[in-house]
Amino acid sequence: MDDANELLDQYTVTPEWVTESNREEQESRLIPKGTFDGQITGYTTKVNDKVGSPFYGHPVARITAELFSVEGSQRLYFFSASPHRAQMSDGRDYEESRNFRKLAEASETVGEKGSIVLQTAQKMRLSFKITLSPAKGDYPARNWTDNIKAAV
């Protein structure tokens, strides 16, 4: 037993090992790039409380969608959407604003209250165009929603 403890003390879990393992785990859960039919299965809303965020003080919905036929199986996809229009310095909408606008367009609820947009979109089959951005420096690989339309 003492030999095992002495041997055990020769090992340490390094921060690099933890970071690398966490990154590999996260990357294994990413959705491959493509367009997938799916349906919103639920959402939660909260008022953004992150000072400095373009959505500070505004509602943001965290949406869960079930995507059909992703590499032969169903997969959950999580994304955020906000009815608050926030734009980057180049005039493009932030992803959360663009996602909400796309949900309103897809559900034909442009001009309706935000809750109606989400409730209506949840009852529809939608088409999600998902993009995969590779890891860059300290930023991990991630999915982002490129487009949302009504499924045909």
Q: How would you write the pLDDT of the chain (152 residues) with one tens digit per residue? A: 567 878 888 888 777 766 665 656 666 789 999 999 999 999 999 999 999 999 999 999 999 999 998 888 999 999 999 999 999 999 999 999 999 999 999 999 999 999 999 999 999 999 999 999 988 888 888 999 999 999 98
Separation CA 40–CA 120 (nearest Å):
10
pLDDT of residue 78: 95
Separation CA 20–CA 96 (nearest Å):
29
Cα–Cα distances (Å) from 55 to 30, 103, 109, 119, 146, in that order, read 25, 18, 22, 21, 19
pLDDT of residue 7: 84
Residues whose CB falls within 8 Å of the CB of residue 106, separated by 6 or more in sequence, listed in order: 121, 124, 126, 148, 149, 150
Q: What is the pTM assigned to this prediction?
A: 0.81
pLDDT of residue 111: 97
